[in-house]
Chains A and B, each alone.
Chain A
Amino acid sequence: SQTIHQWPATLVQPVGSPLSLECTVEGTSNPNLYWYRQAAGRGLQLLFYSVGIGQISSEVPQNLSASRPQDRQFILSSKKLLLSDSGFYLCAWSVRGRQPQHFGDGTRLSIL
């Protein structure tokens, strides 16, 4: 069966520090991969999606970037974190060209 892993689960970082969140999927090939952010008490905002290795599409202008160095690995990064980057970050995957999406357990990021 397919599983999705995100780490770390919780992260506290100072303003201006770099960021790297990792997401990996097991049990499937060529998935679509997604990064979402969820602000406190709010819905989900799609940040990035990827349909293949090295193929990244950004949804909103922001301080973050994403990369997909391997088929089942999706990384969310920043060179310098801002206070506004705080939130709950969720990775998701779906079968290529299909729904539904399946979510990881998320990373709670706090910026001090």
Chain B
Amino acid sequence: GEDVEQSLFLSVREGDSSVINCTYTDSSSTYLYWYKQEPGAGLQLLTYIFSNMDMKQDQRLTVLLNKKDKHLSLRIADTQTGDSAIYFCAESKEGDTGRRALTFGSGTRLQVQP
């Protein structure tokens, strides 16, 4: 079955880079996503990458995809205290909706120390 795994916790100092890692098992995954959840709030879509891409950069965010190893990472440059949140990795396949909508990891809590 499909599975998405993430480490539970990451602590970094303000100004450093953060790297949040995710592994998935479904080799037919088409899209991979990163969502951010601040305390008490819903999930905010940060970015997503199509499976035929290796990298996607958007301002301070860089997504790297190693499809061979089924490994996805999110790098946040110059991490700020406002980046403290839970980050969820998720995957889906083209055309999948409903039950096969999205498979989420359990989330990585990023703590940014001032």
* A residues adjacent to B (C-beta < 8 A): 6, 32, 34, 42-44, 46, 49, 51, 57, 59, 90, 92, 94, 96-106, 108
Known contacts A51-B97, A57-B98, A100-B33; is-contact A43 B40 (Cβ 8 Å): no
With most chain A CB atoms within 10 A of its CB, the pick from B40, B99, B102 is B102
- A46 with B97, Cβ < 8 A, contacts A103-B44, A104-B42 known: no
Given contacts A42-B106, A43-B106, A44-B104, contact A98 B97 (CB under 8 A): yes
In the complex, number of A-B residue pairs with CB atoms less than 8 Å apart? 66
Q: Is the CB of A43 within 8 A of B45?
A: no
Nearest-CB residue, chain B, relative to A10: B40
Q: Are A102 and B45 in contact (CB under 8 A)?
A: yes
What are the nearest 7 A-B pairs in CB distance? Answer: A43-B106, A103-B42, A103-B43, A105-B42, A106-B42, A99-B92, A49-B98
Once bound together, how far apart are the Cα atoms of A106 and B14, in whole Å?
Answer: 29
B101 interface hit (Cβ, 8 Å): yes
Residue of B nearest to A46 (CB): B101
User: A18 CB to closest chain B CB, in angstroms?
Assistant: 24
User: How many Å lie between the Cα of A57 and that of B99 in the bound state?
Assistant: 8
CB distance from A107 to the nearest CB of B (A): 10
Residues of A within 8 A of B95 (CB): 97-98
Cross-chain contact B101 with A49 (CB below 8 angstroms)? yes
A99, B105: Cα distance in complex, Å: 17
A108: chain B residues within 8 A (beta carbon): 40
Q: Nearest chain-B residue to A95 (Cβ)?
A: B97
User: Cβ of A101: which chain B residues have Cβ within 8 Å of it?
Assistant: 45, 101-102
Contact check, A97 vs B42: say whether CB atoms are below 8 A apart: no
